[in-house]
Chain A
């Protein structure tokens, strides 16, 4: 069963009070956002998933639940800090740098989607 996740829209709204660093420094933040999301589903919930499908799904298969060109992301033990850094800066020969493409709110929405993934 897929666990619902926080919407990009709602994250964008709370963004002024939630810096990337603060987000990254809270190791359990993903768990808490996932649990919040369970009660906050709306049509806009799909934004993180849509962004992921178009930009990330080419390499991270099955919406991030399965390895492909890139690694499996669901239940990843990598820290938020590491993943946000990787999204922004990429890795030569493996992953493009999205730091100039996505703003922090969008990256947060992607992270919320990734952390909400079941297997």
Chain B
């Protein structure tokens, strides 16, 4: 080796050493979420799972950004995804200084959390012909990490594992016959022990809405639980053969309670959405009976997929107010171990998390008339308003988009407050008898026509309130002209972040609701906001990008700015404190 060659080799070695030293992503080999982090109250340096941690607080324990300095928050970097059809709807994850997020068509990006530099990306080949026939598509709402892999579902019915280090596919398992069912997976998976758990789309789609347990290392399907007639007991709650086209599903991720070895999952509504049986729903109509386990919270054994216990929030849901929406907030209070879950109809259910027995039910939104009330001791629906064929009078409240939408609220163990968006709107409705269409591929089974209208007490609107999660006692509330549709983030910096529908991200004092900072991202939000640490610095990451199915209603309801708001585009916007 000549001196020149030695010089070159030496320089190359130094360059490699410098890269290894400088780049945070090379200095630390990617790990997987540890049990301690997953079971913690707060997401600390990382955001390892969809709901932050298994306790589902959507809360970051980081406090570099706080009420005193949030005014200095500014954009650190941005990332622009390809093919952001229907905007961005996913919640990013962060691990060891790397941010991972998904976009439409289940495209994945791994980015340096400090700089935004792309580490790798992945775009699965989807059945595009099928995608063109889907309504609830091609958005993706999140990912999971574990076993050295990143997991993502697809709208053509697959669960894919990618190597976390380089994005190379590890396995690709077909779980659903989406060509027949028309739907697939849009919700984030959940890693529990050796399994990856994912729920199918469903609801108004006439199938049986399965939830799957898949081996995280091999991709082998280990179990499948049908949310429609998944047990013999449940089969008896469907008249005739109606269970075959019952709907159900579990299109948003649940969480895991390690003490009871229970996976909590919210299930979707039965089909058709609007049942015309009226008060005789137990014996007549398209799906006579209580329709277990639709519109329920269910606890599954992650090892076997067997049902441990459940509570059906709305027996025989005739209004499309399913339980798929809503995080499962695990709170210990007064010696009781509780779980708090939001239902789309606008009520918050509080359960004993060892058995799903009701501890309380409280009302988040004002305009509800599908029931008079829900018994806070038993969960029984009081004064339920079952529908018959024809025009529904007075109009139904809330509207089909719900009093509570599918994105998550946040809970701060520091303030003890639960921060949740509520929506006030109603709809005119005419119930029509319908027949499930299964051939050549399943079609929506709605059973009605409808039109959004303002509620009786004022304009259609939204609000964020800070409340006691168990009693519902309200400490403060902020009103919005247009209901925000994104998730909420609480932090140890005593802040609550709300990305709104007009495109503005707000930061509020978590104790008082006082607005301390805002920033316009230029397009509405319907995704999840997180916080994480990279290179010793705290970041706030929020995907912007408008176009969810609920967002699409805003044009008819409000006109501008939504009429002119860009759709089918998006940006991941990451904020940090000014240096």
Chain A nearest CB from B555 CB (Å) reads 7
Q: Are B449 and A97 in contact (CB under 8 A)?
A: no
For the complex, what is the distance from the CA of A57 to the CA of B444, rounded to whole Å?
Answer: 10
Residue B517 interfacial (CB < 8 Å): no
For the complex, what is the distance from the CA of A59 to the CA of B401, rounded to whole Å?
Answer: 12
Chain A contacts for B135, CB-based, 8 A:
58-59, 96
Residue B74 interfacial (CB < 8 Å): no
Q: Are A54 and B133 in contact (CB under 8 A)?
A: no
Chain B contacts for A92, CB-based, 8 A:
85, 132, 568
Residue A23 interfacial (CB < 8 Å): no
Chain A contacts for B556, CB-based, 8 A:
61, 66-68
Q: Are A96 and B432 in contact (CB under 8 A)?
A: no
Q: Are A62 and B433 in contact (CB under 8 A)?
A: no
Q: Are A101 and B443 in contact (CB under 8 A)?
A: yes
Residue B199 interfacial (CB < 8 Å): no
Residue B380 interfacial (CB < 8 Å): no
Chain A nearest CB from B346 CB (Å) reads 21
Q: Across the A-B interface, how many residue pairs have beta carbons closer than 8 Å? A: 90
Residue B547 interfacial (CB < 8 Å): yes
Within 8 A of B (CB), among A82-119: 89-90, 92-93, 96-98, 100-101
Q: Are B428 and A54 in contact (CB under 8 A)?
A: no
Chain A contacts for B435, CB-based, 8 A:
50, 54
Residue A38 interfacial (CB < 8 Å): no
Q: SS class of chain A's interface: helix, strand, loop or mixed?
A: loop
Q: Are A61 and B555 in contact (CB under 8 A)?
A: no
For the complex, what is the distance from the CA of A7 to the CA of B434, rounded to whole Å?
Answer: 16
Q: Are B555 and A67 in contact (CB under 8 A)?
A: yes
Residue A63 interfacial (CB < 8 Å): yes
Q: Are A54 and B132 in contact (CB under 8 A)?
A: no
CB-nearest residue of chain B relative to A69?
B552
Taking beta carbons and an 8 Å cutoff, which residues of B are in contact with A? Answer: 85-86, 132-135, 138, 204, 272, 428, 430, 432-435, 437, 440-441, 443-452, 547, 549, 552-553, 555-556, 567-568
Q: Report which residue of A54, A64, A90, A100 has the largest number of chain B beta carbons within 10 angstroms of its beta carbon.
A: A54
Q: Provided the pairs A55-B444, A67-B555 are in contact, do residues A93 and B133 lie with their beta carbons within 8 angstroms?
A: no
Q: Are B451 and A68 in contact (CB under 8 A)?
A: yes
For the complex, what is the distance from the CA of A101 to the CA of B444, rounded to whole Å?
Answer: 12
Q: Are B133 and A100 in contact (CB under 8 A)?
A: yes
Contact partner of B568 (CB less than 8 A), chosen from A53, A59, A93, is A93
25 A-B contact pairs sorted by A residue (CB < 8 Å): A53-B432, A53-B449, A54-B435, A54-B444, A54-B445, A54-B446, A55-B446, A57-B449, A61-B451, A62-B451, A65-B451, A66-B451, A67-B555, A68-B556, A69-B549, A69-B552, A90-B133, A92-B85, A93-B85, A93-B547, A93-B567, A96-B135, A97-B133, A98-B133, A101-B440
Q: Are B443 and A63 in contact (CB under 8 A)?
A: no
Chain A contacts for B133, CB-based, 8 A:
90, 96-98, 100-101
For the complex, what is the distance from the CA of A65 to the CA of B449, rounded to whole Å?
Answer: 10
Chain B nearest CB from A1 CB (Å) reads 15
Q: Besides A50-B435, A55-B437, A93-B568, 13 other CB < 8 A contacts?
A: A50-B433, A53-B434, A53-B448, A54-B432, A54-B443, A55-B444, A58-B446, A59-B135, A61-B451, A61-B556, A93-B86, A93-B138, A100-B441
Q: Report which residue of A49, A53, A92, A96 has the largest number of chain B beta carbons within 10 angstroms of its beta carbon.
A: A53
Q: Are A54 and B451 in contact (CB under 8 A)?
A: no
> In which size bucket is the chain A interface?
20 to 34
For the complex, what is the distance from the CA of A61 to the CA of B432, rounded to whole Å?
Answer: 14
CB-nearest residue of chain A relative to B139?
A93
Q: Report which residue of A52, A57, A64, A90 has the largest number of chain B beta carbons within 10 angstroms of its beta carbon.
A: A57
Q: Are B440 and A61 in contact (CB under 8 A)?
A: no
Q: Are B552 and A68 in contact (CB under 8 A)?
A: yes
For the complex, what is the distance from the CA of A25 to the CA of B134, rounded to whole Å?
Answer: 29
The 8 lowest CB-CB distance pairs between A and B, nearest first, are A69-B552, A62-B451, A63-B449, A67-B556, A93-B85, A53-B432, A57-B449, A61-B451
Chain B contacts for A54, CB-based, 8 A:
272, 432, 434-435, 437, 443-447
CB-nearest residue of chain A relative to B134?
A96
Chain B contacts for A100, CB-based, 8 A:
133, 440-441
CB-nearest residue of chain B relative to A91?
B132
Chain B contacts for A66, CB-based, 8 A:
451, 556
For the complex, what is the distance from the CA of A93 to the CA of B155, rounded to whole Å?
Answer: 13
Q: Are B443 and A62 in contact (CB under 8 A)?
A: no
Chain A contacts for B552, CB-based, 8 A:
59, 68-70
Chain B contacts for A49, CB-based, 8 A:
432
For the complex, what is the distance from the CA of A90 to the CA of B138, rounded to whole Å?
Answer: 14
For the complex, what is the distance from the CA of A50 to the CA of B448, rounded to whole Å?
Answer: 9
Chain B contacts for A98, CB-based, 8 A:
133
Chain B contacts for A96, CB-based, 8 A:
132-135
Chain A contacts for B451, CB-based, 8 A:
61-62, 65-66, 68
Chain B contacts for A67, CB-based, 8 A:
555-556
Chain A nearest CB from B470 CB (Å) reads 36
